């Protein structure tokens, strides 16, 4: 997303521009330019609650990544949001359905991804899976139904859904510590709408290399700001544009 595509803010919105330097871009270390007027918009948490945040929106002058600068304010608000986080709360924990634009058929996002993996990834009959940001286990459930002989580990920030996740057939455990504490090696690591929440994603992905087997695969799904511009209002997502191909290029050259 280019900054000049954004709607021109009212003149007095310039007053919202920070008087203090922003932290550097957390992808490339470049200087950030703040988007005036962002704080006039209502925000939302990614578990669909209104959020009147004070976080900022900025773009990197070097790599172009649109992001929430990693200010103390952003960290504080994200901690508050996760404190009372309830995944898919409006559907009593059930994952929402997605609709195929051509056929109209519906399935959950997790079912769609598990089916895609069956058709495209040529996974073996058995293996070990790590689901980073597994929530209440929606993807683990869907994956288990298609790959019943795999063993799985879910990873989350806290253990509020431990009993639910560990009741899913094939799940060995829910891991809530540092990922580097895991002593297994995985045939498949999935990150479904997780990477955009993670500060300094290049360092994070680089560390994941050591958790994969030599033939292991990493599956990442991230939002597409062009298809879903609403995502720019979600406070906990620090990366909000489709700049992930650039991110992967940086990772490959590191
Ligand atoms: Zn940058």
Which residues, chain by chain, have CB under 5 Å from ion ligand 1?
25, 27-28, 30, 60, 62-63, 65
pLDDT at 100 exceeding the cut of 80: no
Each residue's pLDDT tens digit, 50-61: 777 778 888 889
**pLDDT on residue 12:** 41
**Are 37 and 134 contained in the same domain?**
no
- The 3-class SS string of the chain reads CCHHHCCCCCHHHHHHCCCCCCCCCCCCCCCEEECCCHHHCCEECCCCCEECCCCCCEEECCCCCEECCCCHHHHHHHHHHHHCCCCCHHHCCCCCEEECCCCCCEEEHHHHHHHHHHHHCCCCCCCEEEEECCCCCHHHHHHHHHCCCCEEEEECCCCCCHHHHHCCCCEEEEECCCHHHCCCCEEEEEEECCHHHCCCHHHHHHHHHHHEEEEEEEEEECCCCCCCHHHHHECCCCECCCCHHHHHHHHHHC
**pLDDT value for 31:** 93
Q: pTM value?
A: 0.76
CA of 97 from ligand 1 middle (Å) equals: 34
Q: Is the confidence at residue 84, as pLDDT, over 80?
A: no
How sure is the predictor about 249, in pLDDT bands with cuts at 50, 70 and 90?
low
Q: Which domain holds residue 217?
A: 109-221
**Ligand 1 centre and the CA of 182: distance in Å?**
30
Is 29 within a domain? yes
Last residue of a domain, one of 25, 48, 83: 83
Nearest to 194 by CA among 231, 223, 229: 223
Q: Count up the domains in the chain and report the number.
A: 2
Regarding whether 188 and 125 lie in a shared domain, the answer is yes
Statement to judge: residues 184 and 113 lie in one domain: yes
75 with 116, same domain: the answer is no
Calculate the average pLDDT of the chain: 81
Residue 45 belongs to a domain: yes
Apex 242 CA angle, 236 and 248, nearest 5: 100
Residue 89 lies in a domain: no
Whether residue 252 lies inside any domain: the answer is no
Ligand 1 centroid, distance to 201 Cα (angstroms): 12
How many degrees, rounded to 5, is the angle at CA 214 between CA 213 and CA 215?
90
The verdict on residue 228 lying in a domain is no
Whether 174 is covered by a domain: the verdict is: yes
233 CA to centre of ligand 1 in angstroms: 20
Specify if 147 maps to a domain.
Answer: yes
Where a domain ends, among 27, 49, 83? 83
Confidence of residue 11 (pLDDT cuts 50, 70, 90): very low
Same domain? 115 vs 212? yes
CATH of the domain at 116: 3.40.50.150
Same domain? 55 vs 132:
no
pLDDT tens sequence across 186-245: 999 999 988 888 888 888 988 999 999 999 999 998 877 777 776 667 766 767 654 566
> What is the residue whose two structure tokens read 């540092």?
178
Distance 141 CA to ligand 1 centre (A): 36
Whether 162 is in a domain gets the answer yes
Distance from residue 247's CA to the centre of ligand 1 (Å): 9
Same domain for 113 and 51, yes or no, is no
């Amino acid at each position: 997303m280019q900054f000049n595509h954004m709607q021109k803010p009212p003149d007095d919105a310039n007053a919202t521009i920070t008087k203090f330097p922003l932290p550097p871009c957390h992808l490339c270390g470049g200087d950030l330019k703040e988007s005036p007027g962002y704080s006039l918009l209502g925000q939302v948490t990614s578990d669909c609650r209104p959020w009147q945040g004070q976080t900022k929106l900025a773009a990197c002058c070097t790599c172009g990544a649109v992001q929430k600068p990693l200010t103390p304010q952003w960290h504080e608000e994200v901690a508050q949001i996760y404190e009372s986080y309830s995944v898919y709360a409006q559907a009593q924990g059930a994952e929402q359905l997605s609709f195929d634009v051509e056929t109209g058929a519906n399935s959950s996002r997790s079912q769609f991804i598990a089916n895609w993996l069956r058709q495209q990834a040529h996974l073996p009959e058995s293996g070990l899976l790590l689901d980073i940001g597994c929530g209440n286990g929606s993807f683990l459930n869907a994956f288990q139904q298609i790959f019943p002989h795999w063993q799985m580990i879910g990873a989350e920030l806290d253990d509020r859904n431990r009993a639910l996740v560990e009741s899913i057939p094939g799940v060995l455990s829910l891991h809530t510590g540092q990922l580097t504490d895991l002593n297994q090696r995985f045939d498949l690591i999935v990150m479904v709408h997780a990477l955009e929440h993670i500060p300094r994603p290049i360092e994070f992905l680089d560390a994941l290399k050591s958790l994969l087997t030599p033939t292991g695969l990493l599956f990442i799904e991230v939002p597409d700001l062009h298809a879903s511009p609403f995502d720019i209002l979600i406070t906990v997502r620090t990366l909000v544009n489709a700049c992930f191909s650039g991110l992967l290029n940086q990772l490959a050259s590191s």
